[in-house]
Amino acid sequence: MSETIVEVQQLGKTVRDATGELTILHDISFTLQARESVAIVGASGSGKSTLLALLAGLDVPSHGTVTLAGQSLFALDEDGRAALRAAHIGFVFQSFQLLAHLSALENVMLPLELRGIREARQLATQMLQRVGLGERLGHYPRVLSGGEQQRVALARAFVQKPALLLADEPTGSLDFATGAQVMALMFELNREIGTTLVLVTHDPAIAARCERQLRIEAGRLV
């Protein structure tokens, strides 16, 4: 029987603007199992990225709960949520989010070093070799192609062997062929490491590769 990694109950998000209150998410509930791959799909503005931010504890809901690895995210303060993220969650973003002043190796080492892992250099080197960048360890993001930068981002996310990997439009900044290569690599790594993958995408072909799809329409799970 699969282990439940994430449990979302009655999650809602409302914000105020000049015109009054705007509800972005309405009472979302679902669970995620260990090693499951799930695509969150829906039109632009439907609330997909807001939901991803709430799953990570990067944003706070108006109501509802997210339980990650048995811990209620929003029962924790900001520092507590950050510590839980560091221990359990990896991220891949559309814009790569690499640190420009760090080499590829240093970018991948960073989350390991923050956790005090002594073998950070060795583990980061092995992961960059796994994603085909063994010859680019000392290169900085500015001299890497978009596809290479996203492979560095994948290495950085997976090197920690997170329980949960959150990916927000990971091929959105890449051409079709490069995006297809990156996604194939992401699914390979996900199978190898046994991570629960949650992927926000507009691409039906990418969504179809996931075991399950959650469709958001106007802030509601349908």
pLDDT values of the chain reduced to their tens digit, one per residue, 222 residues = 578 999 999 999 999 888 889 999 999 999 999 999 999 999 888 899 899 999 999 999 999 999 998 899 999 999 999 999 988 999 998 888 999 999 999 999 999 998 899 999 999 999 999 999 999 999 999 999 999 999 999 999 999 999 999 999 888 888 888 888 889 988 998 889 999 999 999 889 899 999 999 999 989 998
30 domain residue, yes or no? no
Neighbours of 220 (CB within 10 A): 15
What is the reported pTM?
0.90
14 domain residue, yes or no? no
123 domain residue, yes or no? yes
Domains in the chain, number: 1
Query: d(Cα 175, Cα 178) in Å, to the nearest integer?
Result: 5
CATH of the domain at 132: 3.40.50.300
Backbone φ and ψ of 135, nearest 5°: -90, 0
202 domain residue, yes or no? yes
Query: d(Cα 123, Cα 104) in Å, to the nearest integer?
Result: 13
Predicted local distance difference test score (pLDDT) of residue 19: 87
51 domain residue, yes or no? no
Backbone φ and ψ of 178, nearest 5°: -65, -40
Q: Which domain holds residue 197?
A: 35-46+79-221
22 domain residue, yes or no? no
107 domain residue, yes or no? yes
Predicted local distance difference test score (pLDDT) of residue 126: 96
| Sheet strand arrangement including 71-72 | 20-33, 4-17, 63-68, 71-72
* DSSP type of residue 192: H
19 domain residue, yes or no? no
* DSSP type of residue 34: T
Predicted local distance difference test score (pLDDT) of residue 1: 56
**Tokens of residue 4, six digits:** 């439940």
Predicted local distance difference test score (pLDDT) of residue 94: 83
